[in-house]
């Protein structure tokens, strides 16, 4: 768009995260390739990343290297970058050397002391003030700022008071706030870490009133809370609850008056997800399931009795099956309590009862022989102690 500043709003990279033990580092690298390509193709001026850059406070070495390369590649495009830490990141570690790297055009905000002090980036209409609100642990923020109230609304409310006070000294300056939080009205998924410790976890969208655009992070689904308050979601799916998400980044334009519109740029999908259910023989033979053979799958078996070697058999047809659950048709197998004390019964009988309760069928002769051998080996080991 002519005469505007163009932002690419991303969040929740979670570099170093796996998906049910599947290493995602290559998929994350492919997303960052896409991000750099988008910067070039869409002539992006500023990349904003709203927290959870890593998946944990002490990320693995390959994740740190990927992040390092990504920042260098963004810088090499000529775009500026503004990033904040999230609840998965270490605020202290992410704040290391930020004053030094500011001069490169990469601005990482991961400190309570920096809240209210903007990164100023110019376009033809003058400066735009970018304010970073990293994830605020409520009790840490309460003590740091001597707040009387607990919870996320108090912490973020105070941060926004600092921002509005600074903006009041900059008449006519447009503003963007990066914030890592759970805003009321947003829809969560199974892959976000709970942040409810320390008081109320949700904050109202109105807490951000007075700025031109709010670049949110934390929730993993793309969401528009208001036209100027948005989540882009995570660039990859990190739980099966996200099977219908469209992943990517918001492309946001600011003109001379502020927010001028936003569009969504979809990210590449490394492998689609699906949740399927049925009886094992139907899943293994039915033509309607063929389209799922290249998906990462969560499979729910509805057989009345648990089949033998279910995952091994399913993976012959569905090599990317990752998660297996059981929901027998007609409800769970009836529970039959053990009437005799466990200590008074032979070990093999206790194991046989458990297998029958869990699977709905008694152990096979081969399984009974395996249990007998295991019990005998344990007894021999105990006899040598």
Query: Are residues 28 and 53 located together in one domain of the fold?
Result: yes
Query: Are residues 317 and 284 located together in one domain of the fold?
Result: yes
> Which pLDDT score is estimated for 349?
78
Domain count of the fold of the chain: 3
Query: Are residues 278 and 261 located together in one domain of the fold?
Result: no
Alpha-helical segments (H) within 49-208: 61-77, 91-94, 98-101, 138-145, 152-168
pTM of the model: 0.85
Query: Are residues 239 and 316 located together in one domain of the fold?
Result: no
Q: What is the pLDDT along the chain (385 residues), one digit of tens a residue?
A: 457 899 999 999 999 999 999 999 999 999 999 999 999 999 999 999 999 999 999 999 999 999 999 999 999 999 999 999 999 999 889 888 888 888 899 999 999 999 999 999 999 999 999 999 999 999 999 999 999 999 999 999 999 999 999 999 999 999 999 999 999 999 888 888 877 654 567 999 999 999 999 999 999 999 999 999 999 999 999 999 999 999 999 999 999 999 999 999 999 999 999 999 999 999 999 999 999 999 999 999 999 888 989 999 999 999 999 999 999 987 654 444 444 455 556 787 788 777 776 666 788 888 888 888 887 777 777 665 5
Query: Are residues 164 and 130 located together in one domain of the fold?
Result: yes
Sequence-distant (≥ 6) Cβ neighbours of residue 250 within 8 angstroms: 7, 8, 9, 215, 222, 230, 232, 262, 263, 264, 265
Query: Are residues 197 and 67 located together in one domain of the fold?
Result: yes
C-alpha closest to that of 113 among 80, 152, 140, 150: 140
Query: Are residues 33 and 110 located together in one domain of the fold?
Result: yes
> Which pLDDT score is estimated for 90?
92
Show which of 213, 231, 266 is a domain's final residue.
Answer: 266
Query: Are residues 241 and 298 located together in one domain of the fold?
Result: no
Show which of 245, 266, 287 is a domain's final residue.
Answer: 266
CATH number at residue 248: 3.60.21.10
> Which pLDDT score is estimated for 190?
86
> Which pLDDT score is estimated for 71?
97
CATH number at residue 306: 3.30.160
> Which pLDDT score is estimated for 1?
46
Query: Are residues 197 and 306 located together in one domain of the fold?
Result: no
**Domain limits for position 362:** 337-385
Query: Are residues 136 and 165 located together in one domain of the fold?
Result: yes
Query: Are residues 372 and 226 located together in one domain of the fold?
Result: no
Instruction: Give the containing element (helix H, strand E) for 310.
Output: helix 310-317
Indicate the pairing of strand 174-180 with strand 106-109: unpaired
Distance CA 11, CA 111 (A): 18
Query: Are residues 86 and 164 located together in one domain of the fold?
Result: yes
Show which of 332, 359, 374 is a domain's final residue.
Answer: 332
> Which pLDDT score is estimated for 360?
67
> Which pLDDT score is estimated for 195?
75
Number of H helices, E strands in the chain: 10, 19
């Amino acid at each position: 768009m002519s005469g505007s500043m163009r932002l690419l709003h991303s969040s929740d990279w979670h570099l170093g995260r796996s998906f049910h033990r599947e290493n995602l580092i290559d998929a994350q690298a492919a997303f960052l390739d896409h991000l750099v390509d988008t910067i070039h193709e869409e002539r992006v001026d500023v990349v904003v990343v709203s927290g959870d850059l890593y998946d944990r406070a002490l990320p693995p070495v390959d994740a740190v290297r990927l992040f390092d390369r990504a920042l260098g590649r963004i810088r090499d495009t000529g775009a500026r970058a503004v990033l904040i830490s999230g609840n998965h990141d270490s605020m202290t570690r992410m704040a290391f050397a930020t004053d030094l790297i500011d001069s490169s055009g990469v601005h990482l905000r991961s400190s309570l002391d920096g809240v209210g002090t903007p990164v100023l980036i110019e376009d033809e209409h003058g400066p735009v003030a970018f304010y970073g609100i990293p994830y605020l642990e409520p009790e840490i923020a309460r003590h740091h700022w001597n707040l009387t109230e607990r919870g996320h609304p108090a912490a973020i409310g105070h941060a926004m008071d600092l921002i509005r006070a600074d903006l009041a000294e900059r008449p006519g300056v447009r503003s963007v706030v990066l914030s890592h939080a759970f805003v009321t009205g947003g829809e969560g998924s199974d892959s976000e870490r709970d942040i409810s410790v320390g008081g109320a976890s949700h904050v109202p969208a109105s807490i951000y009133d007075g700025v031109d655009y709010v670049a949110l992070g934390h929730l993993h689904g793309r969401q528009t809370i208001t036209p100027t308050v948005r989540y882009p979601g995570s660039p990859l799916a990190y739980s099966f609850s996200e099977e219908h998400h469209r992943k990517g980044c918001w492309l946001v334009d600011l003109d001379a008056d502020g927010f001028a519109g936003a569009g969504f740029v979809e990210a590449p999908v490394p492998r689609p997800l699906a949740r399927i259910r049925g009886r094992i023989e139907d899943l293994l033979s039915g033509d309607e399931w063929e389209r799922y053979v290249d998906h990462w799958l969560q499979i729910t078996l509805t057989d009345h009795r648990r089949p033998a070697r279910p995952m091994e058999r399913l993976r012959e047809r569905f090599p990317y099956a990752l998660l297996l659950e059981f929901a027998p048709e007609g409800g769970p197998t009836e529970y039959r309590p053990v009437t005799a004390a466990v200590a008074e019964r032979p070990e093999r009988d206790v194991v046989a009862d458990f297998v029958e309760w869990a699977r709905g069928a008694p152990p096979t002769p081969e399984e009974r022989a395996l249990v007998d051998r295991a019990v005998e080996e344990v007894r021999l080991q105990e006899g040598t102690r």
